[in-house]
Amino acid sequence: MEIRYAQSDDVSLAYAVEGEAGLPLVFIPGIVSNLAMDETVPLMARFYERVARFSRFVRWDRRGTGLSDQSADPLPLAEQARDLEVIRRAAGFERFAVVGFSHGAVLALRYAVDHPERVSHLVLMAAPVCDARDPGDPASPPLSPWQRLIEATHDFARYTKGFMAVAAPSAEPGARARMENMMKASVSPGGMRRLLGQIRELDLRDALGAIRVPTLVVHANRDRIFPAEHGRYFAAHVPGVRYLELDTDAHIFPLDASASAITLAALEEFLTGSVVHSADRVMTTVLFTDIVDSTLAQQRMGDEAWRTLRKSFEANSRRLAEQFGGRVVQFTGDGVMAAFPAASQALRAARALGEDARGLGVAIRAGVHAGEAYTVEDQLFGTCVTVAARVAAHASAGELLTTETVSDLVAGSGFTFRDVGSVELKGLGPRRLLAVTAP
């Protein structure tokens, strides 16, 4: 990473450009950052490296922080777009995706509203809507007792330790300690007091309806800095928004490995339309099943009996997937998605799942496809997964459909197939499908 400088007024702004992919992306950090110290926190460095795989990725330290002029007073929020314009021109971007984290999301949102012609995508991560604990409650108290918080910065070592204990309580202690040192190296106590003062009386609620660019909002469900009510308020009031709520207590997502991986996949899919570069590739066989006419079955059986059946169906699906060497990736409403290292295992598991469903008094449809998928923690993404789901959707009650790819992989294993013909798979074009007839 090469650190460069650009001039905004008489202030030097430090920035870095990483990645060679075509998507221009500007990342606006939280209240403080330091380009030179990111690599001292491995989880942060990994997050940024993964973003750079699918973008031409620009980060900068805002004035008053990090490697930019720390002696410079921070600009009022309404004027901070001046610095963003300087960074945009220095990077050579005409139109770009803007990702704002925490306090940086305030600038990202304002810029997207004022300059929609320059913003291709807007991403708001762990962002505040306003200076209220619950933006949907007019009587909600402020997020923090600001004067007391500002005064606490006079003991800056204690302040940074307390902040990290709240911002990532479950993070590994060494990572929190490195982040504390990054904060100390990135801003003076007086500078932090000035930055905190800017957040007092923040209110973006009137601006949300004016957002006219594709928007993704990511928020932690146990965020103690800006509670989840903020992410949910964005989700309810930004036109056409996509919303991802993470199961974590990490306000700083990259310090939670699982939340970081899920965020990266969601970010890449939102910005590029697929998950290719931010996840690891693996050959796998994917099975989808679905209970046929589940709504009618529930009405016939009654809610209590249906809950009992669903509980048995899910437990048996997990047991049978594992019995044949695979694992359940997720339950999908009235069905299951499972992954197997070998195609023959997936086909045998599908037949067993069909027999088990009949024993419960219902029928399932099933589809199997094999190929490369992308793993993010325990989840799978990619065309292989989409094909398997589309194949299952074409199956009839009690039928197991698959593709020529799978039939080639299991040649000699005793399976027989019936040609169903070429079928148009939604969004994927025509595919020749085969019904598994034996064993």
pLDDT single digits (tens) 123-155: 999 999 998 899 999 888 888 766 788 888 999
Domain boundaries along the sequence of the chain: 3-272, 280-438
CA angle 3, 168, 205 (to 5 degrees): 80
Residue with tokens 């013909």: 421
Backbone angles phi, psi at 26, to 5 degrees: -115, 125
pTM over 0.85: no
pLDDT tens readout for residues 197-234? 877 778 999 999 999 999 999 999 999 999 999 999 99
| CA-to-CA dists, residue 150 to 74, 140, 196, 197, 255, angstroms | 16, 21, 7, 8, 25
Beta bridge partners of 375: 280, 380
CATH of 3-272, one of 3.90.1150.10, 3.40.50.1820, 3.40.50.720, 3.40.30.10: 3.40.50.1820
Fold type of domain 280-438:
Alpha-Beta Plaits (3.30.70)
- Provide the sign of the torsion angle of the four alpha carbons 164, 167, 169, 173, taken in this order: negative
Kindly report which listed range (108-112, 266-270, 382-386) carries the lowest average pLDDT score.
Answer: 382-386
Q: Which amino acid is at 22?
A: G
| CA-to-CA dists, residue 155 to 158, 177, 187, angstroms | 6, 16, 14
Distance CA 269, CA 382 (A): 10
pLDDT of residue 7 exceeding 70, the answer is yes
Average pLDDT taken over every residue of the chain: 91
Contacts of 236 (CB under 8 A, 6+ apart): 136
> Mean pLDDT over residues 52-80, rounded?
89
User: Quick check: 217 and 244 in contact, CB under 8 A?
Assistant: yes
Q: What's the maximum distance between 2 C-alpha atoms anywhere in the chain?
A: 77
Burial of 44: CB neighbours in 10 Å, binned 0-12, 13-18, 19+: buried
pLDDT for res 377: 65
Distance CA 365, CA 306 (A): 18
What DSSP state is assigned to residue 427? T
> Mean pLDDT over residues 289-298, rounded?
91
CA angle 220, 383, 97 (to 5 degrees): 50
What DSSP state is assigned to residue 268? H
Q: Which residues of 67-90 are buried (b: 16+ CB within 10 A; e: fewer)?
A: bbbbebebbeeeebbebbebbbeb
Q: Which residues of 1-12 are buried (b: 16+ CB within 10 A; e: fewer)?
A: eeeeebebeebe
pLDDT for res 279: 67
Cα 383 to the chain's mean position, in Å? 18
pLDDT of residue 56 exceeding 70, the answer is yes
Is 280-438 the same fold as 3-272? no
CA angle 238, 240, 242 (to 5 degrees): 85
Distance CA 210, CA 223 (A): 26
3-state secondary structure 275-337: CCCCCEEEEEEEEEEEECCHHHHHHHHCHHHHHHHHHHHHHHHHHHHHHCCCEEEEECCCEEE
Q: Which two tokens stand for residue 318?
A: 């997990």
